[in-house]
């Protein structure tokens, strides 16, 4: 086994150590070489393949680490995901090559939950448009909805969904939940009610997605799903773009059947200025920023660093995925 002080580490997230420079110092002090992603963007399979030769450990963002990229990894022993999702990593290919994959569950839950609730408030009240109009010298008469007393449906009740439910308790919202791994008592203990999907869609004023991408959830928000939503409801997605059929969502929004949508994630990132969804005035779009707060990025960085170094020392990581 190669000594830690001879190991080469690749760090791809641009926000690694952004709010705590000690993270970079700690890493650089114990390994032989560190390479940082200087592009400021998530890397493609080809870009990863060009960087991975000679790398022993990778602290990875949402970069594409598929079989083609891993084929170029001649000494890679660990991919420590800086975040919870692992859909950008080919876990089967990693296992076949004896590469350990870890993640950072719960580290960004509070940050993403806060953004989800912020989205609900912005969808309820025309704050962004009114602020822009006022700055331009206008003084528009605006009206909106109150979040208080509304019904919010959460699809997925993991760490993020549970935090969203807690935040919404301060608004006296009725919170409905769909999650096959959650039971009625657990949901009730967190102020939510477990219901069938059809009931959630038919009665929720806001539907917020908090489920990972799996075969059964990929593209789940399709035309049929959207047609079952309450007329005038809004969709919030801070999870993964692959959960949503974007063409179907565009149609539902353009027709006026849905009030609006707030999206922090897209199927293709960035979606491009020509994305039909970005042309709609009732869409709020942000650049996958849900996890990017000072506390969340620092916690993710520390968890990923700890597990990356553990594997390179020959120890079992705390948050092993594969």
Catalytic residue among 8, 77, 288, 292: 288
HEC readout, 167-219: HHHCCCCEEEEECCCCCHHHHHHCCEEECCHHHHHHHCCEEEECCCCCCCCCC
Report the alpha-carbon distance of residue 155 to residue 240 in Å, rounded: 12
Catalytic residue among 25, 28, 95, 269: 269
What is the rounded distance in angstroms from the CA atom of residue 202 to the CA atom of residue 214? 24
Check if 240 is active-site. yes
**CA 277, 279, 285 angle in degrees (round to 5)?**
55
Active-site residue, selected from the candidate residues 162, 240, 259, 292: 240
Establish whether 269 is a catalytic residue.
Answer: yes
Alpha-carbon span 109 to 243, nearest angstrom: 18
Burial of 36 (0-12, 13-18, 19+ CB in 10 A): middle
- Other residues' Cβ atoms within 10 Å of the Cβ of residue 285: 16
DSSP 89: B
Terminal CA-to-CA distance of the chain, rounded, Å?
Answer: 20
User: Could you list the active site residues?
Assistant: 240, 269, 288
């Amino acid at each position: 086994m190669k000594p830690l002080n001879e190991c080469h580490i690749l760090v791809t997230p641009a926000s690694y150590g952004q709010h705590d420079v000690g993270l970079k110092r700690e890493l650089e002090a114990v390994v032989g070489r560190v390479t940082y992603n200087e592009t400021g963007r998530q890397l493609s399979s080809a870009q990863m393949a060009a960087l991975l030769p000679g790398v022993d450990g990778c602290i990875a963002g949402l970069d594409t680490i598929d079989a083609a990229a891993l084929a170029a990894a001649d000494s890679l022993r660990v991919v420590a995901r800086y975040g919870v999702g692992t859909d950008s990593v080919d876990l089967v290919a990693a296992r076949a090559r004896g590469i350990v994959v870890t993640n950072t569950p719960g580290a960004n839950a509070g940050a993403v939950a806060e953004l989800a609730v912020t989205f609900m408030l912005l969808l309820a009240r025309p704050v962004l448009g009114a602020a822009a109009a006022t700055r331009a010298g206008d003084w528009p008469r605006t009206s909106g909805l109150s979040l208080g007393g509304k019904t919010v449906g959460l699809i997925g009740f993991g760490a993020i969904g549970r935090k969203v439910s807690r935040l919404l308790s301060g608004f006296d919202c009725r919170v409905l939940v769909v999650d096959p791994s959650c039971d009625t008592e657990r949901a009730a203990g967190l102020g939510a009610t477990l219901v069938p999907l059809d009931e959630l869609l038919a009665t929720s004023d806001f539907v917020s997605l908090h489920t990972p991408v799996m075969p059964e959830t990929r593209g789940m928000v399709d035309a049929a799903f959207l047609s079952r939503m309450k007329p005038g409801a809004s969709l919030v997605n801070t999870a993964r773009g692959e959960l949503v059929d974007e063409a179907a969502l565009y149609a539902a929004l353009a027709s006026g059947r849905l009030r609006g949508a707030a999206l922090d994630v897209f199927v293709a990132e960035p979606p491009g200025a020509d994305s039909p969804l970005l042309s709609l005035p009732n869409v709020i779009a942000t650049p996958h920023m849900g996890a990017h707060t000072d506390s969340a990025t620092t916690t993710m960085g520390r968890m990923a660093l700890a597990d990356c170094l553990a594997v390179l020392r020959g120890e079992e990581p705390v948050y092993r995925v594969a």
